[in-house]
């Protein structure tokens, strides 16, 4: 069986501000060589990643919800598999300044802004176009965000491309342009579980990071540089079991060679992550109601509250520029 792309209707959204009731499609990108990926146009979200284990048995290695209603229910859906934006981290106080002008964002996390606001990119149906070229299956999804959306300046045109190859790779490629100076940081919020179910505690995590952001009690970065992790329980430069520790941290990457590795000893599945982004957010799903520790988020992207931190890599996007972000997941089994 060769590579195929399938499309099917999964439901219709109820609609909300700026977008009425809209049909939602599921696209299956199947390499025919073991790796297959399912993406929905609602939230441009990753719903399934089917990967063989060491015995050749295929299993889904991302947490998924039962139906469209589950994905639309923000009270019970903590961004499962969603494309998150315009800014995928926190913004302290829900405000930032550009060129002396203060911009106030939707405060959807107490006094703060997170993951693009209450009506972020995860809440919209994206336009989709699939293609097959040179042995790679691609799904291109686009969304237009108007000036002032959730408080962000500038009309933003955003795009995410999922690329799947028979060599066992899944790539996320993000682009965006703007009509006015703004901030951008996009990522995917998948919950990974290489066992295909159960808890993640026994899986081995390695991170190419010797430093991590230091947060206050509201997960806002404290003043000062990231902390040196040498000798601490958070030092994952060598693989170690996730265990029962709560992880909700942002790790500053030491270089572009690799970002993270996850391995499940029981199934033999391994995932290696490479990104051009400066940091990886790691979350062990301890607050996922009813699905606690069912997956681990490895969110490549900017640093939290970077719009308010001159000491962090910049996240500004100006007219005439193009925002770009590429993260690749390599799958294997041993």
CA atoms of 89 and 250, how far apart (whole Å): 10
Sign (positive or negative) of CA dihedral 188, 190, 194, 200: positive
Q: Tokens representing 306?
A: 């970077």
Instruction: Give the contacts of 330 (CB within 8 A, at least 6 positions apart).
Output: 168, 169, 271, 272, 273, 274
Look-up of token digits 């800014």: 87
Residues with Cβ within 8 Å of residue 216, at least 6 apart in sequence: 222
Tokens 């590579």 sit on residue: 3
DSSP strands (E only) in 109-266: 113-114, 127-133, 136-145, 156-165, 169-178, 182-183, 187-188, 191-192, 204-207, 211-212, 227-228, 240-241, 248-252, 260-263
**Region of residue 164 (left: phi > 0; alpha: psi -120 to 50; beta: else):** beta
Which of these is catalytic: 112, 299, 325, 329? Answer: 299
- Residue 8 appears among annotated catalytic residues: no
Which of 189, 236, 263, 329 is the catalytic position?
A: 189
Distance CA 258, CA 277 (A): 11
Q: Is 189 a catalytic residue?
A: yes
Q: What is the CA radius of gyration of the chain?
A: 19
Closest CA to 212 of 193, 196, 222, 226: 226
For the annotated catalytic residues, the residue numbers are 189, 299
């Amino acid at each position: 069986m060769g590579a195929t792309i399938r499309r099917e209707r999964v439901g219709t959204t109820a609609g909300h501000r700026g977008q009425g009731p809209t049909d939602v499609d599921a696209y299956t990108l199947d390499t025919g060589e073991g790796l297959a990926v399912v993406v929905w146009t609602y939230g441009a979200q990753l719903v399934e990643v089917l990967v063989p284990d060491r015995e050749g048995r295929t299993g889904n290695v991302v947490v998924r919800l039962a139906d469209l209603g589950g994905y639309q229910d923000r009270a019970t859906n903590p961004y499962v598999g969603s494309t998150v934006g315009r800014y995928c981290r926190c913004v302290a106080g829900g405000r930032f300044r550009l060129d002396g002008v203060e911009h106030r964002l939707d405060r959807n996390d107490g006094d703060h802004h997170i993951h693009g606001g209450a009506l972020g990119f995860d809440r919209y149906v994206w336009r989709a176009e699939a293609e097959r070229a040179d042995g790679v299956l691609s799904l291109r999804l686009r969304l237009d965000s108007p000036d002032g959306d959730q408080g962000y300046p500038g009309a933003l045109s955003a795009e995410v491309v999922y690329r799947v190859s028979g060599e066992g790779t899944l790539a996320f490629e993000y682009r965006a342009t703007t009509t006015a100076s703004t901030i951008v940081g996009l990522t995917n919020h998948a919950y990974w579980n290489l066992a295909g179910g159960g808890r993640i505690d026994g899986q081995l995590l390695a991170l190419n990071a010797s430093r991590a952001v230091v947060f206050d009690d509201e997960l806002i970065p404290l003043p000062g540089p990231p902390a040196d992790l040498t000798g601490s329980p958070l030092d994952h430069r060598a693989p170690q079991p996730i265990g029962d520790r709560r992880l909700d941290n942002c790790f500053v990457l030491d270089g572009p060679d690799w970002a993270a590795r996850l391995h499940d000893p029981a199934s033999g599945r391994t995932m290696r992550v490479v990104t051009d982004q400066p940091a990886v957010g790691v979350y062990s799903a301890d607050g996922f109601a009813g699905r606690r520790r069912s997956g681990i988020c490895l969110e490549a992207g900017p640093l939290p509250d970077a719009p308010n931190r001159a000491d962090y890599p910049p996240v500004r996007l100006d007219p005439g520029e193009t925002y770009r972000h590429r993260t690749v997941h390599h799958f294997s089994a041993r």
